[in-house]
Structure 1
Amino acid sequence: MRRRSLLTAALAAPLATAGAVGALQSPAQAATWYSSDKYAVWTTGDYELGNNVWGSGAGPQSIWANSYSNWGVWADHPNTGGVKSYAYVGHSLGRDVWSMGNVSSNANVTVPSGSGLAYATAYDVWANGWDYEIMIWTQWQGPVGPIGSYVTDVNLGYQNWAYYQGSNGSNDVHSFMARNQTTDSWVDITAHCQWLVANGRMPQVSVDEIGFGFEITSSAGGYNFNCNSYSLWM
């Protein structure tokens, strides 16, 4: 799961208030897997989990997991601009967009709130290798926002999304921002991918990887980001 900076200035849309988590390191070392290595990866079945601390000026971050569906990170990143990390659970798909089947996902997370925090809870879908990136933001806080410009609102999977299109200089980035943010999300991934192709925003592609996780810009003092449950239906 490759990452680079995707967050820009804050959106004008109001932010949801997330449940507070104390600024204390999580009891990660009691989990099945734990690592404080910047690029730690753990494979369990068909899933991989990664710490993925890749941004400039990042502080310490540790990841723990009991399974692909129950994991989290503790992160202490300075309150400076630029994404510091994208901790994730990922799964390879490798299907043509028109024959990818009904791919959907549910995730329940516990995330911190308070001043100085900047992060997003988001799906990160890659197509045609690294040529096209589809980000589906379910919840965020602080001065963060998608690359590119607002295009339109769209209803997908019986939910309303603000669609943005842009490029990071290496690949196209398509972002869907939830109009109703939630820490207990259900996302129709197929609907998002096929809408992009049907509306001429993306060519007919192979949908290769599906990731879900926390893209963290600022978390000074140390905060917990927990994925309490995660399901991916394919």
Structure 2
Amino acid sequence: MASPLRTPLRTPLRSLPRTRAVLLALLLLAGALTALTATAQTARADERICDQYGSTTIQGKYVVQNNRWGTSATQCIDVTGTGFRLAQADGSVPTDGAPKSYPSVFYGCHYTNCSPGTNLPMQVSSIGSAPSSISYTYVDNAVYNASYDIWLDPTPKKDGVNRTEIMIWLNRVGPIQPIGSRVGTANVGGRSWEVWTGSNGSNDVISFIAPSAVRSMSFDVMDFVDETVARGMAQRSWYMTSVQAGFEPWQNGAGLAVDSFSASVNAGSGGGDGGGDDGGPGGEPGACEVTYTTNSWSNGFTADVGVRNTGSTAISGWEMSFALPAGQSVTNAWNATLSSSGGTVTARPVEHNRNIEPGGTQSFGFQGTHSGGTPGEPTRFTLNGTVCTVK
């Protein structure tokens, strides 16, 4: 559409009376501003993707993908600055089979499509923490799950199917169930989950199913990776290739949305050769043990953390990371400086407890709030990138 400033005038401006000329100039300026405003609004509007495997990037570090792989019916997503919304989700597939698509946002690499600046694939043994958070909008007139997809492989794979898929179902609506069969329950990241394992014919799958809908969550992805390794479905010498979050719809799905998403992977100080982690300055692989003691009341609690050096060399300077269960936050601390990001807490020593001699212990503590009931405890602590034994 032509700009109003470029539209020819039937009467030269100089031939009009001064008042009319000024008025017309103001009208033209208003039209120009309107056009500029409309252009700016268009630039800020959601990007709609209807291509089967169409994708785009948001925040300069995540990829949003339409990923309609199980149906020929139309599916479109509206991409926002922080996530996406399913604008159209036609068609349906049988609920006893695979879903029709997986519209999602991810960090890492998926079929050669890597998010900008990602440090994935990364060897599991080299990962100190992998904080992530999600916020969902759900609908009732559809059959779907809301899930994370975390991919692990023996090689640093950027294309094709990985060996093991970790799924975290935060919600499921309709007569659908995970791949395989239920093998029990597990407490991971401060929550209780049903655990299912099986194979889809291409890769192994372990699924963690929330007993009721979870609309938002902040957690450390490594809590679920550690549980997967403990169950023999992956190894610490393998690689994490991507962290994804979105929906698997079987029927309909319009209106479902990922309102916000964040993910990052923080390397420990290990060498990543599959032989274990480096315990940091003066440390050695696996040379730490943690005790975690709490005292709680209605909506608050205190925690005392003991860090023991079980290795044969001194640790000079340390950094401990752990993920607090959902609903908990730190208000103050002693004998350490604490910071939080995406649900992961990082503790750094003060001057008098920065060194831990072989067989020695240093301690710190903090006060926090919780959402009620008995506060859960972190299940995974890393010291300078090394996963510690929890006593």
Counterpart Cα distance in 1 of 2:91 and 2:69 = 14
Pick which of 82-91 and 100-109 moved more.
Answer: 100-109
Are the aligned partners of 2:74 and 2:91 in contact in 1 as well (CA < 8 Å)?
no
Are the aligned partners of 1:153 and 1:163 in contact in 2 as well (CA < 8 Å)?
yes
Uncovered stretches (5+) of structure 1, i.e. residues with no partner: 1-28
Are the aligned partners of 1:31 and 1:64 in contact in 2 as well (CA < 8 Å)?
no
**TM-score scaled by length of structure 2:** 0.48
Counterpart Cα distance in 1 of 2:48 and 2:70 = 21
Counterpart Cα distance in 2 of 1:62 and 1:102 = 34
Residue of 87, 96, 102 corresponding to 2:103 = 87
Residue of 164, 167, 178 corresponding to 1:135 = 167
Residue of 237, 253, 261 corresponding to 1:230 = 261
Residue of 72, 76, 86 corresponding to 2:85 = 72
Structure ranking higher in strand proportion: 1
Structure ranking higher in helix proportion: 2
Deviation digits for residues 117-159 of structure 1 (CA, Å, limit 9, x no counterpart): 2101100111114111111111110121110111121111101
Counterpart Cα distance in 2 of 1:187 and 1:73 = 25
Are the aligned partners of 1:97 and 1:194 in contact in 2 as well (CA < 8 Å)?
no
Are the aligned partners of 2:132 and 2:261 in contact in 1 as well (CA < 8 Å)?
yes
**Superposition RMSD on alpha carbons, in Å?**
2.1
Uncovered stretches (5+) of structure 2, i.e. residues with no partner: 1-42, 109-119, 266-391
Residue 312 of structure 2 corresponds to none
Are the aligned partners of 1:126 and 1:209 in contact in 2 as well (CA < 8 Å)?
yes
Counterpart Cα distance in 2 of 1:111 and 1:52 = 19
Once the two structures are TM-superposed, the CA of residue 59 in structure 1 deviates from its matched residue by 2.1
Once the two structures are TM-superposed, the CA of residue 83 in structure 1 deviates from its matched residue by 1.0
Residue 149 of structure 2 corresponds to 124
Counterpart Cα distance in 2 of 1:77 and 1:70 = 21
Residue 55 of structure 1 corresponds to 70
What number of residue pairs does the alignment pair up? 201
State yes or no: 1:191 paired with 2:223.
yes
Q: Percent same amino acid among aligned pairs?
A: 31
Are the aligned partners of 2:93 and 2:251 in contact in 1 as well (CA < 8 Å)?
yes
Counterpart Cα distance in 2 of 1:207 and 1:143 = 31
Counterpart Cα distance in 2 of 1:47 and 1:230 = 9
Counterpart Cα distance in 2 of 1:232 and 1:191 = 14
**TM-score scaled by length of structure 1:** 0.79
Residue 22 of structure 1 corresponds to none
Asked which structure has the greater CA Rg, the reply is 2
Counterpart Cα distance in 1 of 2:207 and 2:190 = 17
Residue 151 of structure 1 corresponds to 183
Residue of 206, 210, 224 corresponding to 2:239 = 206
